Structure 1
């Protein structure tokens, strides 16, 4: 799907095709949004948009890392959008050049849709004065989603710590490792974006007004806050994981201790049963009238004595 917003002399147009867009007079600004285009739309895109303006569909769809590439006085920004509901990562490519903004994404993105509807109020003059204002609105939406994802992962960690459902250690371990995997992927999507924003501020190829520079610095500070939250949550999951491993090790040692006690108690009993199970001819005890009962009492006495001895040593204490 290809949709276009174009503003000329304060008038908004949202029903243009690519052919009509480039045929008319220069616009105040225009935004072309490309979402999962068909083959026919791909041909139209290749005809009207340069390769630098438009990431090819043959490129990897998900690099999972933000990128910044310069093309003369324009640049292309690749962002990782994370859905707060599914925690899935989606790539968003943005091409910015003067009064031009071209966005391309494979999946339907809520942040794009929200900003798109904000920029086309019915019967009113569009609020954004230029492409950079639209870009700032998009950054704000992405930042909101990043904070929502961070809070959601933090809530999952709180549930792990409380263990309200009384799940087994194995299930809890699996949940801890899954959350850590999500946190690491989240950090991999956020951390490089801080460096990219700093490059955008310092690069002589991108003209930034003082107000825009202040906005980008504030955006970078918010990203740093999210990264700090991610790092703190990673430490918490590491502590929870270590606690679970220690508890598992303690339980394993307790089980091995119990099995050892049972084995040690039965060792002399097995020895006695083995001796009197040989049935040699010259074994006087075999002809005793009360020999069977005496041996049973002896074996029981040994077992009880060893039990109380181990208990006195503290082997049965929690």
Structure 2
């Protein structure tokens, strides 16, 4: 589906304009949105707009890393939206020309819809031009990163509050799931941060300098997101390390118990094995009190081993 919007010289917003009519002289700038386009609609990228083949290829082969490429007078942006349910990245492509902007996406984009309605409803937004539209799209995309990250922070706080009420393995499963989600968001936020840094420092894009404060604001939001992600990753790493320490301490306690039992029973097993041998001439076997004597020796040896280990602090 393709939808179009044009702003005339007298700053009137016109929708549902045929693409050939967008080249009329009274059009100040226009916006064309490709939403899950058909094969015929895809051909317009080449036949009507004459975009660079590499840029068209990047549109069709998902999923590209967020980036900025310059092709003559057209600037090509790859930006990412975040699926609120899966946290997977969804690509949105933007072509920015001298007097036009073309957005391209295969998945429904709430952010583009919000920017579209704002341009229609607010006259001062349409007056700021097509570069401002690019800002609106990127700003809406970045703003929608925050809810997922806030939800992750709430989950971490909940884990800290319930750490005494739930089993450690269950908590660690939640922590590892959170780390996986943080990794997904991080793969989107960091490249987007680098992209906005390039945009605000670019000398090639006309109109960015006039809108510099807006793009800088997006970069600030991405910096905040990066700090939040790293902070949450450190928190999950601390939880993971604490879990490993608890497991290690528990294993050491178990090994200490087994070592105490082994230390006590090894000499007793040695004595029992001697008198379990089937030799005919063993003087102790014919002694009347031999059985009780051996038991006494075994009891003394066992008690002595326990006393020795206690003095060495093995039972603390």
- Report the TM range for the smaller structure's normalisation: 0.7 to 0.9
Q: Hey, what's the Cα distance between the residues in 2 that align with 1:225 and 1:58?
A: 29
Q: Which consecutive unaligned segments of at least 5 residues does structure 1 have?
A: none
CA distance in 1: counterparts of 2:291 and 2:17, whole angstroms: 104
**Residues 291 and 128 from structure 1, CA distance in 2 versus in 1: closer, same or farther, beyond 3 angstroms?**
farther
| Cα displacement (A) at 1:61 | 0.8
CA positional deviation for 1:68: 0.5
Q: How does 1:1-318 map to 2 (within 5 A)?
A: 1-8=1-8, 9-16=10-17, 18=19, 21-22=21-22, 27-52=27-52, 55-56=56-57, 60-63=61-64, 65-121=65-121, 127-129=125-127, 130-164=129-163, 166-169=166-169, 172-208=171-207, 211-317=210-316
Q: Deviations over 1:47-95 (max 9, x none)?
A: 33323396336754123x3200112232111112223443211121111
Runs of 5+ consecutive residues of structure 2 not aligned to the other structure: none
Q: Is the 8 A contact 2:80 2:141 kept in 1?
A: no
Normalised by the length of structure 2, the TM-score is: 0.83
Preserved CA contact (<8 Å) 1:83 1:149: no
What CA RMSD, in Å, does the superposition of the two structures yield over aligned residues? 3.1
Comparing 212-221 and 88-97, the one that deviates more: 212-221
Cα distance between partner residues in 1 of 2:115 and 2:238: 40
**SS at structure 1 position matched to 2:144:** helix
1:119-165 deviation per Cα after TM superposition (whole angstroms, max 9, x unaligned): 445xx969522222322322331232122233223233334444545
Secondary structure in 2 matching 1:274: helix
Please give the alpha-carbon distance, in whole angstroms, between the structure 1 residues aligned to 2:21 and 2:256. 79
How many residue pairs match? The answer is 312
